[in-house]
Amino acid sequence: MTPPGVDLLRHPVEATDLVLLAHGGSEHSSADPHLWSGAILRMWPFAEAVRSAVPEAAIGLMRYRYRGWNGAAADPAVDLRAVLDGLPPVIRRVVLIGHSMGGRTVVAAGDHPRVAGVLALAPWLPDGEPLTALRPPVTFAHGTLDTITDPRATTAYANRLRATGTPVTVYAVEAETHGMLHRPTDWNALVATFTANALGSVPTSATGADSEPLPQYGRRSSAAAVLSIAVARLRMPVLERFQVG
């Protein structure tokens, strides 16, 4: 078993901010996640989007011990908290961006004092998921055609958070499925804008609506999404690994 850690894709010498990407996984699995799994590869274009938006920040891919959530053990959330606790003191702010199980992971750990924003993409938030006092800004986005995780559950969780006083923005991504491959330009724009706002001096305010449509900037193309994954993977190799435990 490999200890939890972060694969750094960008690490400016004077970086004090880290954008941490948390990939999806399985409901139950003790298998070791590997860099060439589809769930991890899907996060690479977001790393490029972040690099353009906040070039002064470090960028890393969260690496869990196991591929699965694994019931009450909540292994990925435990791993993410361990990483946040163990980061060097020079890293003062961390923006968390997660997809699917990674969305559940960043929500579960989003109250950590180092967190400066939580973006959950097509998150897996089952009924009864415990509320976390997330540190704003907080945005959820979910494809309307997602049959793997439930967009209605995402909105329900957001409304529960709002009831506690936490501002949340929710985007409905029309004609999009769980893999986020039909509207790649729009997902990348969301990641870039959210990150820039979270690490800026004046973050944007959350909207009050249950959900609103995600703006469409580019054409819908799954082929372009797959190509962008391959290109980003080549342009941004893993530079080093930060490991805890």
Confidence of residue 202 (pLDDT cuts 50, 70, 90): low
pLDDT digits 0-9 by tens, 142-154: 999 999 999 999 9
Number of domains into which the chain is organized? 1
Query: Can you give the CATH number for the domain in which 98 is found?
Result: 3.40.50.1820
Confidence (pLDDT) at 107:
98
- How many CB atoms sit inside 10 A of residue 19's CB? 31
- Nearest Cα neighbor of 96 from 88, 78, 108, 82 is 108
* Rounded to 5°, angle at Cα 11 from 7 and 16: 110
Q: What are the residues whose beta carbons fall under 8 Å from the beta carbon of 212, sequence distance 6 or more?
A: 169, 170, 171, 172
Would you state the pLDDT for residue 208? 64
Domain that holds residue 53: 5-243
Reported confidence tier of residue 220, pLDDT bands at 50, 70, 90: confident
* Whether the Cβ atoms of residue 70 and residue 26 lie closer than 8 Å to each other: no
Helix (H) or strand (E) holding 41: helix 38-41
Q: In the structure, what pLDDT confidence band is assigned to residue 57 with cuts at 50, 70 and 90?
A: very high
Give the model's confidence band at 2: pLDDT under 50 very low, under 70 low, under 90 confident, else very high: confident
Partners of 6 in the β-ladder: 62, 242
